[in-house]
Amino acid sequence: MKWFTTYNNGSAIDLRQIPSLSYAEFFEAVRERLSNPACHVAHYFGVPVEETRLRVWCMILNDEEHTIEVASYDVDYYDEELPSLTKEFAAMHPFERDMTERWGIRYDGMPWDKPLRAPSRSARRGGTVDEYPFYKMESASLHEVNVGPIHAGIIEPGAFRFICNGEEVLHLEISLGYQHRGAERQIETSKSLLRQVLLAEGIAGDSAVTHTTALVRTIEKLTSFDSSKAGNLDVERAVALELERMAMHIADTGALCMDVGYQLGQVACEALRTMTINTTQLWCGNRFGKGLIRPFGTNFPLTDELRATILKNVEEIRRRYNEVRHDIKTTPSLLSRMEQCGIVNAQQMQRIGGVGQAARASGVARDLRVSHPWGVFTDRIAHQSIIKEQGDVMARLMMRCREVLQAADTITSLLTDLDCSVGSPAPQWEVKLPPYQLSTALVEGWRGECCHVAITDGEGRVACYRVKDPSMHNWLALAIAVRSEGISDFPICNKSFNLSYCGHDL
């Protein structure tokens, strides 16, 4: 069965062009595609069309062909015999669990039929962590350790249940869903585009630029707006994104150093991270880049002066960070902590559909800047992913180190010959969206693949808006990483992924 094929840089799709399959056809088609290791599911979600009917949309990315394949099927609430895809492809688990949780669709033979976002959703709303059906192992020599949902540090809420044999972790189960703000629903119901953009900035505070870029690109694609012809707009967005990547990777390097008690690396990275986010602040007045990304234009076009400052700061950060990197690589006590710790091998990463830098550290070359380029990555920047094979904490740390340097190079090459006199247009807020369209935008944030989808109704309003944060795929990788590690190494494993709690819970 032929699916509708589109590209990340393409335009919105007329809903009538997307094939509607029966579940059996869909199941076979997904199975056929996912058996190709270059393919993975970007998004898979249901939208109610009638009282008890749901239309389910599925998007599969093919990294080799650079395509996004889209198809849909209809399901009635009373339909039976929907075999589970998770049974064969573990990567499908967050999507099927979400569908069960949101719409009550049950999949036959679903091996891990647990709520994705307890306790914020549906029947479990208001429940406590004690009611969550945690996996159990009974033995006199085992003990359970529960951490959270409220933590001692300044981190977001999430419950972690360990089953340990002494110091060794046998199993970790993660229960999230304490951060529900109804972001998707609010984006759907708000009439103002500005409000939608502001909501996107708040989806995950550490990925404000990533999520906002994804949202404005989704909206712009609906109107066939070509950002590459809008002055320096594409360059500005790419620079903002790479600055965010630098800031967060540097912050994580510092946090990892802190968690192993390595003070020198911690203080050096804290200083550098401040310098990076202050550069963003100088540009747009907000350290996390809020307010910088706006639809159809920008309020903060780059000036020559600004360009020179960014270039100077990035060069300085790059030089100093490289010293920290060298320091980390040559400190034996750090290497002994991080090497061979928290390993997720390529096969596991592939099975669970990992994305972003965590996947690349395990040898799964998944990078939207290469596979599904947009903006400057289509022409100006020939991005080359950094791939590591080890899949341990050290590999993920070194991945961050290398990506910071690479991001600095990208910014430098984008800004060096930029003609700032071209300018960029001002943002537009009053736009008419075409009816019955589906638009999707993929953006490679610092954490990985971020996918936004908008579907418009007959009056050109955004009737359905779905967001997928890369954390959705990668939380399972953390659970796998800590298996048979010491429980005291969980914090560094967790930090090496640094996944989003609120991005998971929309």
Partner 1 sequence: MKELFNTILMIAIALLLGGVITRVRSVLSGRRGPSIVQHLHNVALLARKGSVYSPTTSILFRVAPAVYMGSALLALLFIPIGNLDPLLSFRGDVVVFAYLLGLGRLSLVLAAMDTGSSFEGMGASREALYGALVEPALFAVVATLAMVCGYTSFADIFSVARDLDMQMTIVMVLLAYVLVKVYTVEQGRVPVDDPRTHLELTMIHEVMVLDYSGVDMAMIHCANWFKGAALAVLAANAVMLPLCFKWWTVAPLSLLVAVIVGVVESSQARGKLVRNTTYILTVSALAALLLFVAYLLTLNIQIS
Q: Which helix (H) or strand (E) holds 402?
A: helix 393-416
With CB under 8 A as the contact rule, the residue among 38, 49, 264, 382 that binds partner 1 is: 264
**Residue whose C-alpha is closest to residue 449's, from 213, 288, 219, 282:** 213
**Residue whose C-alpha is closest to residue 231's, from 171, 298, 327:** 298
Residue 330 in the binding site for partner 1 (CB under 8 A): no
DSSP for residue 486: B
Of 168 and 457, CB closest to partner 1? 168
Of 46 and 342, CB closest to partner 1? 342
Residue 163 in the binding site for partner 1 (CB under 8 A): no
Backbone φ, ψ for residue 304 (5° rounding): -60, -40
Dist. CA 291–CA 236, nearest whole Å: 13
Rounded to 5°, the CA angle 217-422-412 comes to 75
With CB under 8 A as the contact rule, the residue among 51, 139, 140, 152 that binds partner 1 is: 152
Dist. CA 496–CA 218, nearest whole Å: 30
Q: How far is the CB of 257 from partner 1 (least distance, A)?
A: 7
Of 126 and 153, CB closest to partner 1? 153
Q: How far is the CB of 155 from partner 1 (least distance, A)?
A: 10
Residue 64 in the binding site for partner 1 (CB under 8 A): no
DSSP for residue 368: H
Q: How far is the CB of 146 from partner 1 (least distance, A)?
A: 7
With CB under 8 A as the contact rule, the residue among 110, 209, 334, 415 that binds partner 1 is: 334
Residue 323 in the binding site for partner 1 (CB under 8 A): no
Q: How far is the CB of 486 from partner 1 (least distance, A)?
A: 5
**The pair of three-digit structure tokens given for residue 213, joined into one six-digit string:** 């870029």
Residue 140 in the binding site for partner 1 (CB under 8 A): no
Residue 393 in the binding site for partner 1 (CB under 8 A): no
List the interface residues with partner 1, window 266-305 (CB under 8 A).
Answer: 266-267
Of 124 and 483, CB closest to partner 1? 483
**The pair of three-digit structure tokens given for residue 382, joined into one six-digit string:** 């020939």
With CB under 8 A as the contact rule, the residue among 52, 333, 384, 413 that binds partner 1 is: 333
By rule CB under 8 A, what string of x and - marks binding of each residue 447-486 to partner 1? ---------------------------------------x
Of 146 and 192, CB closest to partner 1? 146
Q: How far is the CB of 291 from partner 1 (least distance, A)?
A: 32
Residue 398 in the binding site for partner 1 (CB under 8 A): no
Cis amide bond preceding 19, omega within 30: no
Of 84 and 496, CB closest to partner 1? 496
Asked whether the beta carbons of 168 and 486 are under 8 A apart, the reply is: yes
With CB under 8 A as the contact rule, the residue among 261, 379, 429, 461 that binds partner 1 is: 261
Dist. CA 497–CA 503, nearest whole Å: 14
With CB under 8 A as the contact rule, the residue among 52, 128, 146, 299 that binds partner 1 is: 146
Segment contacting partner 1 by CB under 8 A, of 15-23, 87-95, 140-148, 441-449: 140-148
**Residue whose C-alpha is closest to residue 8's, from 204, 227, 291:** 227
Residue 153 in the binding site for partner 1 (CB under 8 A): yes
Asked whether the beta carbons of 493 and 478 are under 8 A apart, the reply is: yes
With CB under 8 A as the contact rule, the residue among 1, 24, 49, 145 that binds partner 1 is: 145
Dist. CA 324–CA 314, nearest whole Å: 15
Residue 137 in the binding site for partner 1 (CB under 8 A): no
- Tokens 């969550």 label which residue? 132
Dist. CA 246–CA 404, nearest whole Å: 5
Asked whether the beta carbons of 480 and 459 are under 8 A apart, the reply is: no
Give me the sign of the Cα torsion angle 298, 466, 161, 169. Answer: negative
**Residue whose C-alpha is closest to residue 169's, from 481, 410, 504, 418:** 481
Would you list the DSSP string of 63-108? Answer: TTTTEEEEEEEEEETT----B-STTT-GGGHHHHHHHHHHH----B
With CB under 8 A as the contact rule, the residue among 31, 125, 136, 143 that binds partner 1 is: 143
Q: How far is the CB of 56 from partner 1 (least distance, A)?
A: 40
With CB under 8 A as the contact rule, the residue among 14, 64, 108, 167 that binds partner 1 is: 167
DSSP for residue 123: G
Segment contacting partner 1 by CB under 8 A, of 188-196, 256-264, 303-311, 384-392: 256-264
Dist. CA 132–CA 119, nearest whole Å: 8
Beta bridge partners of 39: 62
Q: How far is the CB of 259 from partner 1 (least distance, A)?
A: 6
Q: How far is the CB of 147 from partner 1 (least distance, A)?
A: 7
For binding to partner 1 (CB under 8 A), which residues are involved? Answer: 143-147, 152-153, 166-167, 257, 259-264, 266-267, 331, 333-334, 336-337, 341, 486-491
